[in-house]
A and B are shown apart, each in its own frame.
Chain A
């Protein structure tokens, strides 16, 4: 069956085409705005950082020091036996910076009470995964700490 007249009124057609044209224009104009807003600064992390041996030796056993890995906070732990471990200090839960508690020998995140043991493994609270551990290499004059050599420490 063929209808005698269009179901679409003339007005609706006009209004629809005006709105359609306008939205095309708006979309075209928004493109540069969105590109402008979503620009991302690329700040590369350093390949590795070096800590002087004298500084390493100055750390008391069972304590930790923060270090700058580019714009990433790192934490260098010296265990009671003198073993050195380096982790990213960013909690794996919501990116707060963790601190070392010598009494309990745990890393503690104050934001949501998350705990990691001295190997960086998440043991209590909300953190979903272990702290990212950095690669370490002993040289004559210092320790080389590198992100690339790092891995997620295993439980």
Chain B
């Protein structure tokens, strides 16, 4: 029954916190709101103020349209991807060469 030695304090802590929470909660909930703390106001719009127009489906269609900027962005992305692939290929080829010579790439140590 050795494990009780460790279980007991844990249980005691649990029960303690349980009691604590039970006694604590009603105290917090008992605060009643004071009556009528707010006052109603009406907003005065500035001159030339227009409420923002709601977005419609045609706006979405516009946002989906292909623009020159997007094509340009895509081109740059592919350029970068191809560059990285090119660099990776160089390294991969070097790895391959070293590997068949009996070297483990990255460490230059004999296997």
Contacts and interface: CB of A to CB of B under 8 A. Distances in A.
B41 A49 contact: yes
A70 B106 CA distance: 62
B55 to A, nearest CB: 14
B79 to A, nearest CB: 10
B38 interface: yes
A21 B80 contact: yes
Contacts of B45: 46-47
B11 interface: no
B41 A67 contact: yes
B39 A59 contact: yes
A123 interface: no
B75 to A, nearest CB: 12
Interface string B30-66: 0000001111111111100100000000000000000
A47 B38 CA distance: 20
A144 B94 contact: no
A11 B41 contact: no
Contacts of A65: 36-39
Given A17-B87, A18-B88, A70 B43 contact: yes
B39 to A, nearest CB: 4
**Does more than half of chain B's interface fall in helix, strand or loop, or is it mixed?**
mixed
Interface residues of A, number: 31
A22 B83 CA distance: 9
A28 B73 CA distance: 9
A67 B40 CA distance: 6
A144 B106 CA distance: 74
30 contacts: A10-B94, A11-B94, A11-B106, A14-B90, A14-B94, A17-B87, A17-B91, A18-B88, A22-B84, A24-B83, A25-B81, A25-B84, A28-B76, A29-B77, A46-B43, A46-B46, A47-B45, A48-B43, A49-B41, A49-B42, A49-B43, A50-B41, A51-B41, A55-B40, A65-B36, A65-B37, A65-B39, A67-B40, A76-B39, A145-B41
